[in-house]
Structure 1
Amino acid sequence: MEAFVYISRCIIVLLFSWLCVRLIGKKSISQLTSYDFTALMIMANVAAEPLVYKISSKAFLGSLTIAVAAVVIGWMSLRSKFYNFDAKPDIVIANGKIDKEALKRNRMNLPFLLSLLRLQGYVKVSDVEFAIIEPDGNLSVIPTSQSRPVTPNDLKLDTQYEGITLPLIIDGEIQYNNLKFAKLDTAWLGQEIKKSGASRTEDVFLAELDTTGKLNIDLFKDSVDNKPGIF
């Protein structure tokens, strides 16, 4: 009986902590602001108290208070007066020259900066017009006009509209909103499914409609027999 109570308490704490994290917002770990990260660390400690001391009410109230406080601070940061409440972008490379003081402010050494540039596809600092450390810690790179990839606009070429690919079937289920958005119906979709060799919607793992009107279908029975080795 005691084990059942403990397991139940673990599940309740997990669900409540998940709700509090969802309340803070949808962000990946790399996108967390300093106050979001601090709130999550404190919340983890507070939420775990019922597992040790068997006191749930204070832990739940504390977790909820921390989550609400993080939301309020996040809301304040949306106001112009608090734009730099957490941090502001910092330029570490300007006109191909490294700002040594900016590196010191951000506690970033030169090898790490060069590593971030290589990850962005730049092996020479002189190819970079500006490099900016964003508030979330990521590095944004603006290359020189001679180092950036050639675009159709540079070559004065006209391109066709690409838009976005619409998934019409996901895991055997028809996405009716997307089907309606594409101004198509289930009768047309059924015909396309039969052309692919399937007899039912449930046989389709994924069906995507591109902007040219072509439907790409991946069936559950399809397999990849020949794959290269990855090291």
Structure 2
Amino acid sequence: MMDVPSWLEIIIRSSILVFVLFLLTKVLGKKQLSHLSFFEYIAGITIGSIAAEISTGLESNFMNGVYSLLVWTAIPFIAGFIGMKSKKARSFIEGTSTVVIKEGKIQEENLRKEQYSVDELMQLLRKKNAFQVADVEFAVLEANGDLSVLLKKEKQPLTPTDLQLDVAPEKVPQTVILEGEIMDAALAASGLTRAWLEMELEKLNVAIDNVYVGQVDSYGQLTVDIYDDKIQIPEPKPRQSLLSALKKCQADLESYSLQTESEEAKQMYKRNAKKLEQILLKTEHLLLKG
């Protein structure tokens, strides 16, 4: 039997190992790609070293290397399985979270225990948009090295709930044009038609073939990204956006009046849709000037 050239053997070995490593990584799961436990971190380094040695170590036995890969893959897999069954084992294998700031005070002993300097802590805080320790109610260093931060109540941004405001749910923006093709399903999900889309594109003076991505937001506003970046797309005008939102609201009220089985609700929707229609008749010419 003719000997295989060393360069060809390396190519064959490497190709096989890429496939084997892919399968082994799939076994370990997505966690191996993001937050690693101590076992997974050690195993990842070792598996890579073994794979490199098998690829180029022509004098070594190929299958022995594969067996070694299987063993090192099994270690974090078994450790993860044990961790799922036992909280104590999980704490030992993956580590536990540590409180590093409490009521605006750094817990120096805990910080030293985790071998973090104050500079490193401040860097992690800045990543969480917390620039002052006194503003932090609670900060926890997670087992994977992430820092979870809870700002003091008075330092947290205001929300509609704080102001006791009812806010309509935000709809997911729909991609209605992709690489010059109209996405009819996304258009229908937005409650819009091709005729509306063509009219909006005409307002922007853009041909559909030149649109790379076109999206509709929750207010029915179309934004486009075109192939030819030299062409300037007019910015959406606030008054026209308001007009679009009012028209959409009026159309939604009419739609709700048709969908509900309650006669009382039906009349309420119709009444308010009529009010909006009257407002639009009086203000449309002013909003179109914006």
Shorter-chain TM band: 0.7 to 0.9
153 and 40 in structure 1: CA distance in 2 versus 1, 3 angstrom threshold:
same
- Residue in structure 2 matched with residue 221 of structure 1 by the alignment: 228
Shift of 1:175: 7.7
Match of 1:118 among 120, 126, 130: 126
Return the alpha-carbon distance in structure 2 between the equivalents of residues 180 and 68 of structure 1: 48
- Residue in structure 1 matched with residue 254 of structure 2 by the alignment: none
Q: Report if aligned partners of 2:180, 2:208 keep a CA contact under 8 Å in 1.
A: no
Match of 1:74 among 80, 96, 100: 80
126 and 29 in structure 1: CA distance in 2 versus 1, 3 angstrom threshold:
farther
18 and 125 in structure 1: CA distance in 2 versus 1, 3 angstrom threshold:
same
Task: Give, as a single letter, the amino acid of the residue that structure 2 aligns with 1:47.
Answer: A
Aligned length: 220
Cα deviation, 1:181-206, whole Å, max 9, x if unaligned, reads 93889x849x659935123xxx6533
Structure 1 gap segments, 5+ residues each: 226-231
209 and 63 in structure 1: CA distance in 2 versus 1, 3 angstrom threshold:
farther
180 and 217 in structure 1: CA distance in 2 versus 1, 3 angstrom threshold:
closer
How big is the alpha-carbon RMSD for the aligned residues of Structure 1 and Structure 2? 3.5
Shift of 1:70: 1.9
- Residue in structure 2 matched with residue 149 of structure 1 by the alignment: 157
Shift of 1:10: 2.2
The structure number with the bigger radius of gyration is 2
Task: Give, as a single letter, the amino acid of the residue that structure 2 aligns with 1:68.
Answer: A
> When you count helix as a share of all residues, which structure comes out higher?
2
Q: Report if aligned partners of 2:54, 2:62 keep a CA contact under 8 Å in 1.
A: yes
Q: Report if aligned partners of 2:136, 2:149 keep a CA contact under 8 Å in 1.
A: yes
- Residue in structure 2 matched with residue 229 of structure 1 by the alignment: none
Shift of 1:179: 4.3
Match of 2:42 among 38, 45, 53: 38
6 and 173 in structure 1: CA distance in 2 versus 1, 3 angstrom threshold:
farther
Structure 2 gap segments, 5+ residues each: 233-290
SS in 2 for 1:136: coil
Task: Give, as a single letter, the amino acid of the residue that structure 1 aligns with 2:169.
Answer: Y
39 and 153 in structure 1: CA distance in 2 versus 1, 3 angstrom threshold:
same
Shift of 1:167: 4.3
- Residue in structure 1 matched with residue 259 of structure 2 by the alignment: none
Return the alpha-carbon distance in structure 2 between the equivalents of residues 211 and 76 of structure 1: 46
Return the alpha-carbon distance in structure 2 between the equivalents of residues 223 and 27 of structure 1: 43
Moved more, 43-52 or 86-95: 43-52
Q: Report if aligned partners of 1:88, 1:135 keep a CA contact under 8 Å in 2.
A: yes
94 and 45 in structure 1: CA distance in 2 versus 1, 3 angstrom threshold:
same
- Residue in structure 2 matched with residue 21 of structure 1 by the alignment: 25
Task: Give, as a single letter, the amino acid of the residue that structure 1 aligns with 2:78.
Answer: V
Return the alpha-carbon distance in structure 2 between the equivalents of residues 167 and 67 of structure 1: 41
Give the alignment of 1:73-152 within 5 angstroms. Answer: 73-79=79-85, 81=87, 82-84=89-91, 85-152=93-160
Shift of 1:128: 0.7
- Residue in structure 2 matched with residue 228 of structure 1 by the alignment: none
Q: Report if aligned partners of 2:200, 2:222 keep a CA contact under 8 Å in 1.
A: no
Q: Report if aligned partners of 1:168, 1:208 keep a CA contact under 8 Å in 2.
A: yes
134 and 61 in structure 1: CA distance in 2 versus 1, 3 angstrom threshold:
same
Shift of 1:145: 0.6
